[in-house]
Chains A and B, each alone.
Chain A
Amino acid sequence: MALLEVNDVHAYYGYIHALKGISLTVEKGEIVTLIGGNGAGKTTTLRTISGLLKPRHGSIIFEGEDIAQYRAHQLVAKGISMVPEGRGIFAKLTVLENLEMGAYLRKDKDGIAKDMKRVFELFPRLAERKNQVAGTMSGGEQQMLAIGRALMSRPRLLLMDEPSMGLAPVLVELIFDTIEEINKAGTTVLLVEQNAHMALQIAHRGYVLQTGEIVLSNTAKELQKDPTVQKAYLGIE
């Protein structure tokens, strides 16, 4: 059984039909990426899975349970965590407080301390700045914080929305290495990216979205070789 199974999901923003029957699966242990242009529905797909947006039609099965009607804060307890678009850190809270918010639902103090240590090992920069107000950090550091914070709930499925957005190439590399590392440690990742080149390098499988529909799906290796993907998303003529 797949960890996540999205079946024929339709979602709307007001009157705009943003998702027109999305179906996808994510197996345990995978990195799956959604690529596509602006307005293709990548972010909307993640928002629907994370419970921020309710689907009008269709089912979302996570670990065998239909979660389509749950709200976002309930899904965190079920094991889904999201790194939102534009990082969404709490700018006025300190780095430490941001991480504590990530562990909001947990009561096991020892476990939280252990995971906090792990996040600081993953991103030593955060350890240096743990008492700093998060809004004063650079974009890259904020992205590290957003990822670390999402890990603090010990998710079984990590949704990531454009983690490379607005970052310098060196940092993009670092962030993607970390995503691979997180995945190897056992967390399944569903990754939305504009940077299809990087995303397909680390992903096992990928889906291509266009105007609210999935137009192509295959293993990442095959997608990299696919002439239409190369032309439209990888900039290879």
Chain B
Amino acid sequence: MREKFFERFSWVSLVLNSFRIIVIILIVVGAFNTLQGGKYTTSQWVSLSVSGLAQGSIYALIALGYTLVYGILLMINFAHGEVFMAGAFTAVFVAEAFKESGFLDSSPLLAVTILILVAAVVSTVVAVILERVAYRPLRGAPRLVPLITAIGASFFLQYTFRGLYGSGFKSYPEVAAVQGTWHIAGNDIPIVQIVVFVAAILLMVALYWLVERTKVGKAMRAVSENKEVAALMGIDIDQIIVMTFAIGGALAGAAGVINGLYRPQGVSFTMGFFPGIKAFTAAVLGGIGNIPGAMLGGLFLGVFESIGPNLILEGLGIPAANQLKDAIAFTMLVLVLIFRPQGILGERLTEKKA
């Protein structure tokens, strides 16, 4: 027994385990101190969580694009944030026109639906062109090659859209219908957060239905398991890959407009970077390649970065904790990569070979 113990003992696991314990202690102590201090009321926690869910559902929509492409090509499409930007940036002009003509205020539901469609179409087109021009010629190349191409494509798209729409910041016009709050169970919840959350969930349900129930969805799952055998079924692999990019693009474009409702400011050619990185984090968090994982990862990340600073960092006595939101998000990415590289719902990569 003793010998066995020493055989298994390794410095790496010792360091990892102590690190794990330290992280857990920090979280528990931080949370305990904050709650003990009683600085925030229950309804404040609720409103932080709800805004986290709204933000998280936007991350989830973008994260699905990363995860769908990874599931089929085992490739991270780092230009996906720019696909999101393309839709959001284009739709802002349409939104302005709708505002001026009064259409946005007279029939907000129809107007926003049209905006979502416009953004989705633009993002889909960008994603499909990206696949055709930048990635398809590199299929079968070593995995580092398309990754570097993705970063190049990302810059290319940013500066193309800067050339098209200029370098200034724009913002989405205010939609009167989603201003104000709803009183639910003793808490005032901004309507816009509810709308954002519901719209995102509807899109995710639609995607889930598509992947689980339709022929194209089943073919996508078949291709992600085994491309060669899928081809033997008569499935055109290239066509399914294009479909995958298109669906991911459409979701990202829709997320662009939904994001515009929630955070109207800051629409510019660089706006894709941060949501892109966050969504990638969410996808890894949930288990890259796993569709429910991306949804869960997005929501989890949104809530965690919303309540995390106040709950944990403040309790540890760190000042201005609210500004450390992004630090919390990326710390979590690092922790996940160390302790559970396959993500929350992901399976171990070694199984992928079977």
Contact = CB atoms under 8 A, between A and B. Distances in A.
Interface of A: 50-52, 71-73, 76-77, 81-82, 84, 88-93, 97, 100-102, 104-105, 149-150, 153
A111 to B, nearest CB: 15
Q: How large is the interface on B (under 10, 10 to 19, 20 to 34, 35 or more residues)?
A: 10 to 19
A82 B226 contact: no
B218 A76 contact: no
17 contacts: A72-B231, A73-B233, A73-B237, A82-B232, A84-B228, A90-B225, A90-B229, A90-B230, A91-B225, A92-B225, A97-B218, A100-B218, A101-B233, A104-B215, A104-B219, A150-B232, A153-B233
Contacts of B235: 73, 101, 104
A92 to B, nearest CB: 6
Contacts of A92: 221, 225
B326 interface: no
B129 interface: no
Nearest to B347: A92
B236 interface: yes
A88 B229 CA distance: 6
Nearest to B225: A90
A52 B234 contact: no
Contact of B221 (A71, A89, A93, A149): A93
A90 B228 CA distance: 11
A52 B236 contact: no
Contact residues of B: prevailing secondary structure: helix
Given A84-B228, A84-B229, A90-B229, A76 B221 contact: no
Contact of A88 (B215, B219, B226): B226
B85 to A, nearest CB: 33
Interface string B205-239: 00000000001001101100110111111111100
A88 B233 CA distance: 11
A132 B89 CA distance: 45
Contacts of B237: 73
Interface string B232-270: 111111000000000000000000000000000000000
Contacts of A76: 232-234
Given A51-B231, A72-B231, 14 more contacts: A52-B231, A73-B233, A73-B234, A77-B234, A82-B232, A84-B229, A88-B232, A89-B229, A90-B226, A90-B230, A91-B225, A93-B222, A102-B233, A104-B215
B215 A50 contact: no
A146 B221 CA distance: 17
A90 B222 contact: yes
Contacts of A82: 232
B233 A71 contact: no
A93 B218 contact: yes
Interface string B176-195: 00000000000000000000
A35 B226 CA distance: 27
A50 B232 contact: yes
Contacts of B236: 73
- Give me the 3 closest cross-chain CB pairs, A-B, nearest first: A76-B234, A88-B229, A105-B234
B141 interface: no
Contact of A52 (B218, B221, B232, B233): B232
Contacts of A88: 226, 228-229, 232
B225 to A, nearest CB: 5
A73 B231 contact: yes
A93 B229 CA distance: 13
A184 B230 CA distance: 28
B14 interface: no
B354 interface: yes
A182 to B, nearest CB: 17
Contacts of B222: 90, 93, 101
Contact of A101 (B219, B228, B354): B219
B225 A101 contact: no
A92 B222 CA distance: 8
A149 B226 CA distance: 15
Contacts of A97: 218, 221
Contacts of B231: 51-52, 71-73
Nearest to B239: A73
B234 A104 contact: yes
Contacts of B234: 73, 76-77, 104-105, 153
Contacts of A91: 225, 354
Given A91-B354, A93-B218, A97-B218, A104 B225 contact: no
